[in-house]
Amino acid sequence: MMDIREPFRAAFFSLKANKMRSALTTLGIVIGVSAVIIVVSLIQGLKSSVMGQLEGAGSNSLFVRPATPMDMPYEEFQKIKNRDMTLDDLRALTRMVPQIISVTPVFFTGGEVKSGGRNTNTQIYMTDDTWIDQNKVNLSMGRNFVPADMRLRSKVAIIGPRLIEKLGISGNPVGQFITALNMSLEIVGVLEAVGASIGNDEDDAIMIPITTGMATLPDHMRRQLIFQARHDPRINTDDAEDLVREALRRIRGVKPNEMEGFVVFSQKKIATMMDAITTSITAVAGGMVSIALLVGGIGIMNIMLVSVTERTREIGVRKAVGAKRFDILVQFLIEASVLCILGGALGILFGFFVGAVIGKILLNQIGGVPMWAMIAGFGVPAGIGILFGLYPAAKASKMDPIESLRYE
């Protein structure tokens, strides 16, 4: 019976004798596996970041926004009337649907903010006194907006802590003034730090009363608000969504056979859409970076073919002293598989580390690596080692011992 330990010893001795070549051969697998792990980690981090923001909004939240050409064929979009959302719609919706506890208007824009001779570009949220409670955001100092700020169009602002640093505001910022949208605004509150995510950094933002901000906007932009509605938790979210949609159709005067110019969606729909998007991105990105694994596999086969040629006499000696074809085959397969599995292990560790660092910087979130990705990080390289090592191993095992001993 064959001693399986002998091919393993021979394989490891050969790898140890050619450390630099083994390391360079493994590098292709390391790059391929680490690329897959980094991509998966970042996608999972993005998903966690988005879902965390949605959870902050509450499970009983609905969102309403104007329709866009992305929602339907452009020809249909051109036919839609009432593609606007105004504060009047908000007030009418609150009156018409008693199951809606609160409705928060939001308009997002960007602009330059100045203070004490320093300036920076930042996000500007135009909203009202319900936004902080609706999104479960805390203030580190100062106060929230009050209804009187909306009525009087008060020139006040709530700002994020990172914006304070960027503007170099020293001391207590509450009561100091900044300039935005060509207005001098008094800081009345400072948001508690929550961290940044892709496309959104509330720490580097300014909030102003929506009535104050809308006075600075052209008419068509004033009619492009987004609503965040909170419904009674005792009713189903789908039912609440239907109630809001039907109420807005009546408010906007949409006829039974007409398409509405707005979109109502819930957190559940966003989560479903996010799952679909992340799954597609993972599949596409995984397929693209897997090319690196293929290149690494070709490199393994190339090096193993070179190794077979270099060790022709060694193979002849081993066969002359009793080694069988299967022993030679197993030895070279082990060498190829060890290189790939080692590359897979290093790729997982390197990919997880780099993915965590990039995720922390971009998303303020370290994405977890699913078990399937970890298993693939080992299994796929092992399969590549066997697949691409099979031909060189078979070639070595078929060598004639007499001819091999004559090889110079």
Q: Convert the pLDDT of each residue in 150-166 to its tens digit.
A: 999 999 999 999 999 99
Q: pLDDT for 275-329, tens place per residue?
A: 777 777 777 766 766 676 677 777 777 777 777 777 677 767 777 777 777 777 7
Pairing relation of β-strands 183-191 and 139-142? antiparallel
Split at pLDDT 50, 70, 90, the class of 58 is: low
Split at pLDDT 50, 70, 90, the class of 199 is: low
Residue 94 has pLDDT above 80, yes or no: yes
69-89 burial, b for 16+ CB within 10 Å, e for fewer? Answer: eeeeeeeebeebebebbbbeb
CA dihedral angle for residue 375, residue 376, residue 378, residue 381, rounded to 10 degrees: 170
**Greatest Cα pair distance in the chain:** 100
* Secondary structure (3-state) at 76: helix
Split at pLDDT 50, 70, 90, the class of 1 is: very low
Q: At what angle do helices 325-363 and 371-397 cross, to 10 degrees?
A: 150
Calculate mean pLDDT across residues 246-273.
83
φ, ψ for residue 359, nearest 5 deg: -60, -40
φ, ψ for residue 72, nearest 5 deg: -165, 170
**Amino acid identity for residue 379 in this structure:** G
Calculate mean pLDDT across residues 249-253.
87
Which is more confidently placed, 334 or 124? 124
φ, ψ for residue 364, nearest 5 deg: 55, 35
**Amino acid identity for residue 181 in this structure:** L
CB 202 within 8 A of CB 194: yes
Least confident of 23-32, 50-59, 157-166, 302-311: 50-59
Cα angle 378, 381, 387; round to 5: 135
* Secondary structure (3-state) at 11: helix
Split at pLDDT 50, 70, 90, the class of 120 is: very high
Question: pTM score, two decimals?
Answer: 0.63
Q: What is the pLDDT of residue 258?
A: 82
Q: For 197, which DSSP code?
A: E
Least confident of 39-48, 123-132, 350-359, 362-371: 362-371
